[in-house]
């Protein structure tokens, strides 16, 4: 059973940077993977996603140019590098995995495609 474990959350001032890391088990290389977030009172939002090899990536408009998703199957890690963080980025961030499908390729940031989720890591950005 694939397991995902997030780490690296914390608190930072606006304009700062953080890197989240998601460790996954060996059988994750066949899955598409992504990062989601959910702020207090908000619905879960897709942030970034990547296919099995990590070369093809997708980003929400709200983070494009500031966040980078980086998948390394040799280290079994999925990182989310976050720059120029803003208070609106404050949320619980989740790593997730999805089985490959054509539906995923049409909507890679749709949480309904993802079947396996980590427990989350909190990111808090102060003004």
Q: State the residue for tokens 């940077």.
A: 17
- Among residues 7, 67, 65, 2, which one has the least CA distance to residue 33? 2
Q: For the chain, 127 residues long, give each residue's pLDDT as a single digit of tens.
A: 789 999 999 999 999 999 999 999 877 888 999 999 999 999 999 999 999 988 999 999 999 999 999 999 999 999 999 999 999 999 999 999 999 988 888 899 999 999 999 999 999 999 9
Helix, strand or coil for residue 44? coil
pLDDT computed for residue 103 by the predictor: 87
State the virtual CA torsion across 20, 56, 111, 104 in degrees, nearest 10: -160
């Amino acid at each position: 059973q694939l397991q995902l474990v997030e780490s690296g959350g914390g608190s930072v001032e606006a304009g700062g940077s953080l890197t989240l890391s998601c460790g996954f088990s060996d059988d994750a290389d066949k899955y598409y993977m992504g990062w989601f977030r959910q702020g207090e009172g908000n619905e879960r939002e897709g942030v970034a996603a990547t296919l099995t090899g990590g070369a093809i990536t997708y980003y929400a408009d709200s983070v494009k140019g500031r966040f980078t998703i980086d998948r390394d199957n040799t280290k079994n890690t999925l990182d989310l590098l976050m720059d120029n963080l803003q208070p609106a980025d404050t949320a619980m961030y989740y790593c997730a995995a999805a089985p490959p499908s054509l539906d995923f390729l049409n909507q890679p940031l749709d949480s309904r495609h993802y079947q396996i989720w980590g427990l989350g890591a909190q990111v808090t950005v102060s003004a």
